[in-house]
Amino acid sequence: MLKSKFDRLPASLANVLATTSTPETLFNALMPALGDYLACDRCFLYLREPNTRLGKVPFYWVRHADIPTVYDEDWKLEPPSLPDDDPMFAAALRTEPSIVVDDVEAASADTVNKQFEQENFGHRALIHAHICCEGQLWGVLQPSVFGQPRHWTQTEQEAIEQVVQAITPSAVAYVKAAVKPPVTQ
Residues 6+ away with beta carbon under 8 Å from 27? 45, 58, 59, 167, 170, 174
pTM of this prediction exceeds 0.85:
yes
Quick: pLDDT tens for 151-173.
999 999 999 999 999 999 999 99
* Cα 111 from Cα 104, distance rounded (Å): 9
> What average pLDDT does the segment 133-144 reach?
97
How far apart CA 162 and CA 108 sit, in angstroms, is 26
Helices (H), the chain: 11-19, 23-38, 82-85, 87-93, 114-120, 154-178
Q: Please, what's the largest Cα pairwise distance for the chain?
A: 53
- Please say whether the beta carbons of 54 and 77 come within 8 A: yes
Burial class (CB in 10 A: 0-12, 13-18, 19+), 85: middle
Check residues 2 and 121 and name the one with the higher pLDDT.
Answer: 121
